[in-house]
Amino acid sequence: MQIETVIYVLLGGLAGGFVNGLAGMGTSLFALGFFLVVLDPVSAVALTALLAVLAGVQGLWISRAVLSSDPRRWLRFTLPGILGVPLGLMLLDWVDPAVLRRIIAAVLVLYGGYFGLRRSLPRLEGQYRWVDRALGFVGGILGGFASLSGVLPTIWLSMRAWPRAETRAVLQSYNFSILLFTVAGLALRGAYEAQVWVAFAVVLPAGVLAAQAGIFAFRRITDAQFQRLLVLLCLCLGLGMLARELLAG
């Protein structure tokens, strides 16, 4: 492996691992751009999914007490999300994913830009269990269709009046579960060739250390700061998606 490839793989591992440890999501946003510089698109996506699962295992471990205390909360998102993934894969033959990505990117920019500039953020106090299930299901469809499983749950949870530990635990478990299915699907397609495993061996220590650094930072911010962090991540995700679509076009 060339030194340039090693450098970009390490940078992607550090960026993606840190934000996953901090927020429980966002690995693709911060890692994929680095990986695409030196790897083909399929290998880059396959490596990103492995990195997200690696960081997600660590995040799930620190969230285990929250997850076990109220399993119904995260299962309301995760189980419908898993059911939605196959439907998303079926839609690939009917709808252009690029069009949907641009629409969602615009929504993220508008949402993140509007609330990111406001002093006070929305704080919904109700239960909204059916909304949780519906958004988890639609997120699963978007995950199978356009690799955007975490977008709607992140927007929704950034408005819920939950402690940051619960919000992060739900996002972490949800994204981890969807990504496991993504890794399985990529494996069935033969995406995990030798170069991906070599790159993963390089990214492994960087991803582990960066995720731990993100977890360390998460433990030192307040609930309000975490809520604003999710809003700003939505803005960054939208801008990143728009930039990627414009460059691809």
- CA nearest neighbour of 209 among 62, 64, 54: 54
What would the two tokens of residue 10 be?
Answer: 């390490």
Tell me how many domains the chain contains: 1
Percent share of the chain, pLDDT over 90: 16
pLDDT at 31: 85
Tallying the residues shown for the chain, one arrives at: 249
Segment 69-73 mean pLDDT: 87
Band of residue 48 on the pLDDT scale cut at 50, 70, 90 = confident
Contact assessment for residue 202 and residue 10, using Cβ atoms and an 8 Å cutoff = yes
| Cβ contacts of 115 within 8 Å, gap of 6 or more | 121, 122, 158, 231
Reported as a single tens digit per residue, the pLDDT across 134-172 is 999 998 888 777 667 788 888 898 888 888 888 888 988
Full domain range(s) for residue 44: 3-248
Segment 75-96 mean pLDDT: 84
Q: Is the pLDDT of residue 85 over 70?
A: yes
- At position 127, the amino acid (one-letter code) is Q
What would the two tokens of residue 200 be?
Answer: 């993963």
Q: How far apart are CA 70 and CA 239, in angstroms?
A: 34
| Cβ contacts of 235 within 8 Å, gap of 6 or more | 108, 109, 111, 112, 113, 116
Q: What is the chain's mean pLDDT, rounded?
A: 85
Reported as a single tens digit per residue, the pLDDT across 114-136 is 777 777 777 788 889 999 999 99
How many CB atoms within 10 Å of residue 83? 13
Band of residue 97 on the pLDDT scale cut at 50, 70, 90 = low
Between 101 and 239, the higher pLDDT residue: 239
What would the two tokens of residue 153 be?
Answer: 């749950």
Q: How far apart are CA 185 and CA 46, in angstroms?
A: 10
pLDDT at 134: 95
Q: What is the pTM of this model?
A: 0.81
pLDDT at 91: 77
Contact assessment for residue 50 and residue 208, using Cβ atoms and an 8 Å cutoff = no
